[in-house]
Structure 1
Amino acid sequence: MRSLEAVRTELLAPLTPLPSEIVPLAEASGRVVAEAPHATTDVPPADNVAMDGYAVRAADLVEVPRRLEVVGRVAPGEHFVKAIQTGQAVRVFTGAPLPPGADAVLMQEDTVVSETPGTIVAQDKVKPWENVRFRGEDVSAKSPLVGAGIRLGPAQLGLLGAAGVSSIRVYRRPRIGILITGSELVPPGQPLQPGQIYESNGIMLAELIRSVGAEVVQFPTVRDQPELLEASLRHAWPSVDLLVTSGGASVGEPDLVRSCIAQLGATVWDGEVSLKPGKPFFSAGWNGRRLTGLPGNPVSAFVTAVLLVLPAVRRLQGLAAEGPPTTPGILTETMTNGDSRRHFVRVATDSAGHVRSSGVQASHRLSSLSSADGLVEVPPKSTLAAGTTISVIRW
């Protein structure tokens, strides 16, 4: 059996990021940056007010209380033209441009309305530039905003919008095909005949792959018949950037996917992977496109997809971080692996970071997978004691 790392390296080696394209910012969520964008303006574009109150000259409030003449009012989107003179104040609101001549903002809580119309009484001192946001203090014009290889989320899109970026160059979204095989499979909702089971890997894998920002194409489920399998492969494979099959990945008599792929003239990289669940796995290449062959057992398919398929998708996306995300946790129970293969245990994590097994670990048990939010690797022939700090693999 081959190591997970060797199989992953072999799978990823020929893959490169897809061509880039320019998209409007409103359509860039989840996309990966191909070319770092630069700010078109300072953020903020002018000195502005950090809270509701009065724009003042700090030197006027060396001694308080002090009566000030209110000579105007400025809200966000407005602009005060005249310069504030000694003994004057301007009513301002959070986000408004700082009026010329002012060098501080006195909070409204530190003032009282004077008996004299058009005036206030300042009850507290302010330091120069107190409660003022400076032009460009967040971002300077022409500075890079988000580096290449970064996935765009809400925070990054907000920064780009604030800096005046209206479109951005990103890598094309990968088209990932899913082809499920098995004569025993029928769609949910149809009556089951003896020997049949409902097909569930397709929707499971599709949603897993969509969750990392890829476009998914689901092809019709194929029975275990060589002529049908070969025809489906010829149709599906050229139309996608990566084809993912599930079922027929082992070496039993009904497992025909490898031989059908070879009939196309494709190169097949065999080799069972030293991991549990998910030992049956293969990859193939044909006319410059790759295929991954996942097991048919649902949990095995899911785990190999997390550990092998998603890194391939991230490579096609141009993502800098190709490996699965991880978070630290603390085991609340002992986990033992008596096998010679690495065991990736389905786990559930509570809000305090305590990690436990999510249930029975058999490769067909979807109930424990549905209760899991991560995987913990237990090395071969080893035990992780309760209280051990571990890394939880997420998806």
Structure 2
Amino acid sequence: MTNLADIAARIDGYNPDALEAGHAQDIIRSSIAPIEGWETLTLTAALGRVLAADIVSPINVPAHDNSAMDGYAFSGRDIGEHAVELQVAGVAFAGHPYTGGVKAGQCVRIMTGAVMPPGCDTVIPHELVQSISETAITIAPGTVKPGDNRRLQGEDLAAGTPALRKGKILRPADLGLLASLGIGEVPVQRRLRVAFFSTGDELRSIGEKLDEGCIYDSNRYTVYGMLTRLGCEVIDLGVVCDDPASLEATLRTACETADAIVTSGGVSAGDADYTTTVMAKLGEVHFWKLAMRPGRPMAFGKIASNGKSAYLFGLPGNPVAVMVSFYFFARDALLQMMGAQREALPMLRVASQSAIRKKPGRTEYQRGILSLDDEGRAQVRVTGSQGSGVLRSMSEANCMIVLPHGQGDVDAGELVNVVVFDGLC
């Protein structure tokens, strides 16, 4: 893991008390190491898991030259400058090849996916045939070219070549691809174990009495949802009171049972916020405040206890800040720990429907609603109040407007960066 001296030397003006968001992302990325350990799963159990090794195709796909259309197969040598009549020699079905011979001037009626008959290299779709009878067809000149509508053996995937690479997160199409190769089991990375908890004397769990000045703990459920959607094995450690001894004991338990720890609350500069202090006692804190909004108080580092270690992401306490910090900082790191291939969040450039106030010198993540105007062009507007405690705005939003560190005010109609929530949260 990168140490503080290396970080300080690499970043001009390194300040862990006011770090640029981009620098924080770089620090996390350079510090994280993938976990070890894998298991073999059946395809039906492997959805969403990370491949632990390359999958090499044992066969050609397709396994033979075949027709891409319903139509008639023949030799491209029979095509000329004039209309040509071909005699129908037989029929080829998918799974039931035509086994007879095909002479010059003959064709075979063929179905999609059927093996190309010997001597045939071209297929004319049924609807392009000029005339058809039970025994012959007529092809007009210029209708097809030699080789048209034929799928070649191994065209999609040749035997001995990688079908899927290590680090691929398996999606439904990948399961289908593996099944098409006759592969029923795959090696996948073990699940990443992530412990999480909330801090704060004011927090109450659902079902508990809500005393005066107290609030229900929403962050734990939000974090649970984000971790579960990411495919982690989650360890819920509940709510920890604002007490250094309790916090240290919980962090030690988390460290000894998990690969990573996600906390919410307790990382600001308040007198009762102890997370960064305990982190420093148990390990090293790489940064603890970012030049961003929402979510300025965020800590990242690594702690150890009884010979075990874990990366720690100390997220803010405000509900929106928790989600922003997770998606733009913790999420990528956890995927990296899983051994997943790195895929940056896709960023769109979209016109803002209205002016947005923005102070240069910090990165801002504003909740937005992406839509189409009357002419089908993408546009985005903020959800309204951008207070970091307005969780309802995250539920209403379908995207995040990302305004970079040096950005100032945005004019109506100006293009802004947008990250769409679909598939993310």
Q: TM-score, normalised by structure 1?
A: 0.87
What amino acid is aligned across from residue 272 of structure 1 in structure 2? K
Partner of 2:284: 267
Aligned residues of 2:318 and 2:388 also touching (Cα < 8 A): yes
Deviations along 1:61-98, whole A, 9 cap, x unmatched? 64546362443x32212222222224443332101111
Partner of 2:47: 29
Separation (CA, whole Å) in 2 of partners of 1:82 and 1:348: 62
What amino acid is aligned across from residue 216 of structure 1 in structure 2? V
The Cα shift of 1:141 comes to 1.9
Distance 1:140 1:20, change over 3 A: farther
Separation (CA, whole Å) in 1 of partners of 2:118 and 2:359: 75
The Cα shift of 1:218 comes to 2.2
Partner of 1:285: 302
Distance 1:138 1:192, change over 3 A: same
Separation (CA, whole Å) in 2 of partners of 1:337 and 1:123: 67
Partner of 1:42: 60
The Cα shift of 1:298 comes to 0.6
What amino acid is aligned across from residue 199 of structure 1 in structure 2? D
Aligned residues of 1:315 and 1:322 also touching (Cα < 8 A): no
Q: How many residues align structurally?
A: 390
State the 4+ residue runs in structure 1 displaced beyond 6 angstroms: none
Separation (CA, whole Å) in 1 of partners of 2:145 and 2:274: 78
Partner of 1:358: 383
What is the root-mean-square deviation of aligned Cα atoms in Å?
2.8
Partner of 2:9: none
Q: Which moved more, 1:326-335 or 1:159-168?
A: 159-168
Aligned residues of 2:73 and 2:107 also touching (Cα < 8 A): yes
Partner of 1:119: 135
Identity of aligned residues (%): 31
The alignment status of 1:298 with 2:316, answered yes or no, reads no
Separation (CA, whole Å) in 2 of partners of 1:381 and 1:97: 60
The Cα shift of 1:297 comes to 0.6
Separation (CA, whole Å) in 1 of partners of 2:251 and 2:160: 49
The Cα shift of 1:164 comes to 4.5
What amino acid is aligned across from residue 387 of structure 1 in structure 2? G
* TM alignment of 1:155-234, pairs within 5 A: 155-188=173-206, 190-234=208-252
Distance 1:279 1:61, change over 3 A: closer
Distance 1:10 1:137, change over 3 A: closer
Q: Secondary structure, in 3 states, of the residue corresponding to 2:238?
A: coil
What amino acid is aligned across from residue 121 of structure 1 in structure 2? I
Distance 1:56 1:276, change over 3 A: same
The Cα shift of 1:60 comes to 4.7
Structure 2 gaps, min length 5:
1-17
Separation (CA, whole Å) in 2 of partners of 1:65 and 1:358: 66
Q: 1:379 aligns with which of 401, 405, 413?
A: 405
The Cα shift of 1:252 comes to 1.6
Distance 1:93 1:369, change over 3 A: same
Q: Secondary structure, in 3 states, of the residue corresponding to 2:55?
A: coil
Q: TM-score, normalised by structure 2?
A: 0.81
